[in-house]
Structure 1
Amino acid sequence: MPLSPLEHDRRYGELDQVMRAYAGLRADDTPDRPSEALVAYLRHTWHSRPWALATAEMQLREYADHPPGRLRLRLGEFYAIPDVGLAEGDVRQWLYCLADHIKRSVEEGEVPKPATPATHWEWHARFPELGQFLGGWFSQDMPDEFDDHDAAVADYRNSSDPQVVVRLVGELRELLALDLDETDYALAIAELGMEVDPPAPYSPSGWLSLVAEQLTVSHPGSRES
């Protein structure tokens, strides 16, 4: 029978996070060099959930030690490793390689320095609510759903829990604190799901600053101090 959500997370939850970090990227790790995807996973996890690294190392190694057969995969009783561009016979060795890199990082204290996100997964892992906001309210359908950008921002603010709105404001300010150039801000908001241009005459960073200001307006459901 298929795995329950609890059993899935208990046995494969952090393994799944590692695999998600490879979406759209090459699994070109070697024993001497981790891939861009793994470096991004290590960087974000070290600075947000360092305790999860030991779980990732254990789950990777256990999966490689006991790979599921085709029947159990078909029945949904095991986590299915996504296609990462490797031959089926090479996947186990690759998983051991990832586990070894994570183990070395923890045991030797090799912590990647804070940096601008480098992969699609890392952008969304670091700015999850901003990804929800941009992808949900500023998709290509935005012009059909709202009169303008301001109306979309107001709809998000009025339909979201005040604590979630505050979280988004914090992520906006963190993104602005990276002090990127405008081309990189344009790439960042595209990575995070925005499919329309910022309104004229704003640059990407200028519009993000405006949104942060708009979201600090008292929420209808919030308490006045």
Structure 2
Amino acid sequence: MPLSPLEHDRRHGELDQVMRAYVGQPADDTPDKPSAALTAYLRQTWHSRPWALATAERQLREYADHPPGRLRLRLGEFYAVPDVGLPEQDIQQWLYCLADHIKHSLEEGEVPPSAAPATHWEWHARFPETGQFLGGWFSQDMPDEFDDRDAAVEDYRISADPHLLARLVGELHELLALRLDESDYALAVAELGMEVDPPTPYSPSAWLVHVAGRLTDPQAEYGS
């Protein structure tokens, strides 16, 4: 029978997080250098959940030590490593390579330097509520659902839990604190799910400032 959610997380939860970091990224790790995907995972996890790194190293190594057979995978009784573009016979050594890089980072205290997110996974791991906001309220369907972009922002403001609203405002300020070029802010909001352009005459960063201001409107009356 398939793994229960509890058993999945206990045995493979952090392994799955590492694998998710490779979505859309090449698994080109070598013994001498981690890939961009693994570097992004290390940077974000050191910043937000450093205790999870040891779990990731253990789960990667245990999975490589005891890879599942085809029958168990077909029955759903084991975690299936997603396709990362490597030949099947190379997966085991690749998992050992990832575990070795994480172990080295932990033992030597080598933390990737602070930087703007470099991968799709890292953007969403670092700015999760911004991803929910932009992906949910500013998809390509937004013009059919709202009169304009301010109406979409207002809909989020009056419907979101106050704690999530505060988290989003904090994330927007953190995103603005990166002081990216406008082209990089355009890339950032696209990575985070925005499928419509900011309204004229706003640049992407200026629109984020505008949104943060509207979300912190002192006249907001939650729960009314």
TM-score bracket relative to the smaller structure: over 0.9
Aligned to 1:202: 202
1:89 aligns with 2:77: no
Q: Does 1:29 align with 2:40?
A: no
- Asked whether 1:178 is paired with 2:196, we answer no
CA shift for structure 1 position 181: 1.0
Which runs of no fewer than 5 residues in structure 2 stay unpaired?
none
In 2, Cα distance between equivalents of 1:140 and 1:213: 24
Partners of 1:220 and 1:66 in 2: CA distance: 55
Following superposition, the deviation at residue 221 of structure 1 comes to 2.2
Please tell me whether the aligned partners of residues 45 and 53 of structure 1 are also in contact (alpha carbons under 8 angstroms): yes
Distance 2:87 2:180 in 1: 39
Alpha-carbon contact 1:162-1:219 (below 8 Å) kept: no
Q: How does 1:110-149 map to 2 (within 5 A)?
A: 110-149=110-149
Residues 162 and 222 in structure 1, CA contact (< 8 A), matched pair in contact too: no
Identify the residue that residue 161 of structure 1 maps to in structure 2. Answer: 161
Residue identity (%)? 80
* 1:105 matched residue in structure 2: 105
User: Please, what is the CA RMSD of the aligned residues?
Assistant: 1.0
Cα distance, 1:220 vs structure 2? 3.0
User: Which residue number in structure 2 is paired with residue 57 of structure 1?
Assistant: 57
Aligned twin of 2:42: 42
> Are 2:222 and 1:221 aligned?
yes
Q: Distance in 1 between matches of 2:93 and 2:223?
A: 53
Opposite residue 208 of structure 2, the aligned amino acid is: L
Structure 1 unpaired stretches of 5+: none
Q: Deviations over 1:29-86 (max 9, x none)?
A: 0101100000000000011111000000000000000001111111111011000000
Shift of 1:96: 0.2
Alignment partners' CA distance in 2, 1:10 and 1:100:
21
Per-residue CA shift, 1:125-161, capped at 9, x if unaligned? 0000000000000000000000000000011111110
Please, what TM-score do these two structures have when normalized by structure 2? Answer: 0.98
Partner of 1:71: 71
Q: State the distance in 2 between where 1:63 and 1:104 align.
A: 19
Q: 2 CA distance for matches of 1:222 and 1:207? A: 27
Shift of 1:222: 5.5
Q: Deviations over 1:157-189 (max 9, x none)?
A: 111101100000000000000001111000000
Name the residue aligned to 2:4.
Answer: 4
